[in-house]
Amino acid sequence: MNDQPEQDSPEPPTGHSVIQGYLKSLDASPGVYRMLDAQARVLYVGKARALRARVSSYARPTGHNPRISRMIAATTSMMFLTTRTETEALLLEQNLIKQLKPKYNVLLRDDKSFPNILVAKDQAFAQIKKHRGAKKQKGAYFGPFASAGAVNRTLNQLQKAFLLRNCSDPMFESRTRPCLLYQIRRCSAPCVGKISEDNYGLAVRDAELFLSGRSTKVQENLAAQMQTASDAMEFERAAALRDRIRALTQVQGAQGINPRNVSEADVIALHMDTGQACVQVFFIRAGQNWGNHDYYPRVSLGGATDFSAAEVMEAFLGQFYDTKEPPRQIILSDAIENDDLMADALSLKAGRKVEILVPQRGEKADLVAGALRNARESLARRMSESATQARLLRGLAVAFSLDGPPARIEVYDNSHIQGAHAVGAMIVAGPDGFIKNAYRKFNIKGVDLTPGDDFGMMKEVLGRRFSRLLKEDPDRDKGLWPDLLLIDGGAGQVSAVAEIMGLHGVQDIPMVGVAKGVDRDAGNEEFHRPGQRVFALRHNDPVLYFVQRLRDEAHRFAIGTHRAKRAKAIGATPLDEVPGVGSTRKRALLAHFGSAKAVSRADLKDLKAVDGISDALADTIYDFFHDKG
């Protein structure tokens, strides 16, 4: 009897015939469809006014651009979700794109939140500060600003102009004398009664008027007060008012050109060139320019882009406003196909009308032209930087004997003070530079570690990193695995990491330890690789400077993480451990007793007398500190 050769399982069918098979089960309902490959990975997410009509377009064998043709050829199955309306389909599509990151969709890669200025009114004397995140605190919010730097510059000048406090509530409540900000005329010291509640309220009102775009009225009032003070020969007060007017003028100067007839809008301009795109967003609020931010959505799969400007702009709007409140007007450089649908979706999200415009003349067109110029210049700079980065990655591959330029470099460092508040840090770099949304911090948890054991810390960090990678991306097809590991340290750290990699069965990732050398001077770095001789690069080698920059960025991130952890620990009190005591009740207890130690010694009757502390919570606090729980 002859043995028959084993037959490989047939490849699943792909392409037009697969898509054609779904048409009989579809109707004219609106909805969202997903195209999947043989490994069930989502290739593309799309929306449809009528699912059957949209999917039937993919069943045609010809008439597609190269991107769509490749996508159809790779499709082995599809998934469908019907919706009640086209607007719901659009919202669901953008949500799935951000969640699944399909290969053939335009992807917004940098989607950070933006800071606001908050005039917090939890206290009689309002606090002015930077705020990021959900708007849960009581007060007036102004923004968004394009960056933390733009907020900080504005706050700095507003402090000079209106002398509002920026200290935290616990610090405000515990002051017994003015702080340095009062001495340098940045605060009116309401904490110690240097200004009345009414006069401070007037300053808060003026600050809100200015941030609401009514700056002319505020400056006119200050100018009148300055003239009155000068006429009364109160020259010191007149000089202080002059400085406040000057501070407001500096805020306006830093904003650049402020539009006359546009009160609230985002100005969005797109520039595309050789398979790359830059979207520039300018934030106009209260008639003021509150900065701009650039984005580089993924619009290419290795060659020239197959996306039109309308497709890129529509995808950008959907993903950008998925987590942000849209303004009343969105002013675009390029029209989108479904502008009515997008306007309805954004209006639904905002709870008010949102208008989408593509101006051809006038002030709005001038705003678009300015944003477009910024987009063009930003993309040119990025393309130049990318070319330089590509050269450095090729040089790195040669220097470290890699198979090719690394697409993902992970750099690790630890930070601690004699073992206290120990943290590990990982930064990531690639062809586009530092990938900051991929940075990770690790709180060192090993209870059996000797304080200051750098080898043990590095083993813990890398052990946790590889355990997570093996769980989240076992097939290494999601782009999460590094092509190169750089470790801050010498032979000891390299040996510790090699041991961990061996335990996890990960032995095919190149790893290099970067040590400072004999004199610990920058420029004398030595490079350690498992089982190989130590080597160095020449002093003027651009690759050496590149490695130094990577190591310094990891060190900066590790130090910052360590300092934040240490500051949090310093500010911690035993009250943080008491069940039911949150930040508000903690403030009330500290304000009443003066310190956590005094709370721990307080009698039960005194605890019950604190505003906001119930009898049951007073019992809990008393038992916690007197070991009766």
Residues of the chain with pLDDT under 70: 1-12, 111, 215-217, 219, 247, 250-258, 301-305, 417-420, 446-452, 517-523, 567-573, 627-629
Note the pLDDT of residue 629.
41
Note the pLDDT of residue 11.
65
Note the pLDDT of residue 519.
53
Task: Sort 379 into a burial class: Cβ within 10 Å, 0-12 / 13-18 / 19+.
Answer: buried
DSSP designation for 577: G
**265-280 pLDDT tens trace:** 999 999 998 888 999 9
Note the pLDDT of residue 270.
96
Note the pLDDT of residue 569.
65
Nearest residue to 286 via CA among 233, 338, 327: 327
Note the pLDDT of residue 1.
43
DSSP assignment of 215-231 equals HHHHHHHHHHHHHHHHH
Strands 265-273 and 329-332: parallel
DSSP assignment of 235-269 equals HHHHHHHHHHHHHHHHHHHHT-PPPSS--SEEEEE
| 436 φ/ψ angles, rounded to the nearest 5 degrees | -70, -25
Q: Which residues contact 119 (CB under 8 A, 6 or more apart)?
A: 126, 127, 128, 139, 140, 142, 164, 204, 207, 208, 211
Strands 77-82 and 42-48: unpaired
Note the pLDDT of residue 29.
93
Report how far apart the first and last C-alpha atoms of the chain are (Å, whole number). Answer: 80
What's the CA gap between 462 and 412, in Å, rounded? 9
The full set of domains in the chain, from first to last, is: 16-100 (3.40.1440.10), 117-254 (no CATH), 265-382 (3.30.420), 409-569 (3.30.420.340), 574-626 (1.10.150.20)
Note the pLDDT of residue 449.
63
Half-sphere exposure of 93 (CA within 13 A, CB side): 30
Strands 484-488 and 409-417: parallel
Strands 288-295 and 276-285: antiparallel
Tokens for 136, please give them. Answer: 């849960």
Note the pLDDT of residue 518.
55
Phi-psi region of 446 (alpha: psi -120 to 50; beta: other; left: phi over 0): beta
Note the pLDDT of residue 303.
53
Provide the angle, in degrees to the nearest 10, between the axes of the packed helices 215-231 and 197-211. Answer: 140
What's the CA gap between 176 and 174, in Å, rounded? 7
Structural contact between residues 328 and 280, judged by C-beta atoms closer than 8 angstroms: no
Nearest residue to 299 via CA among 333, 281, 279, 276: 276
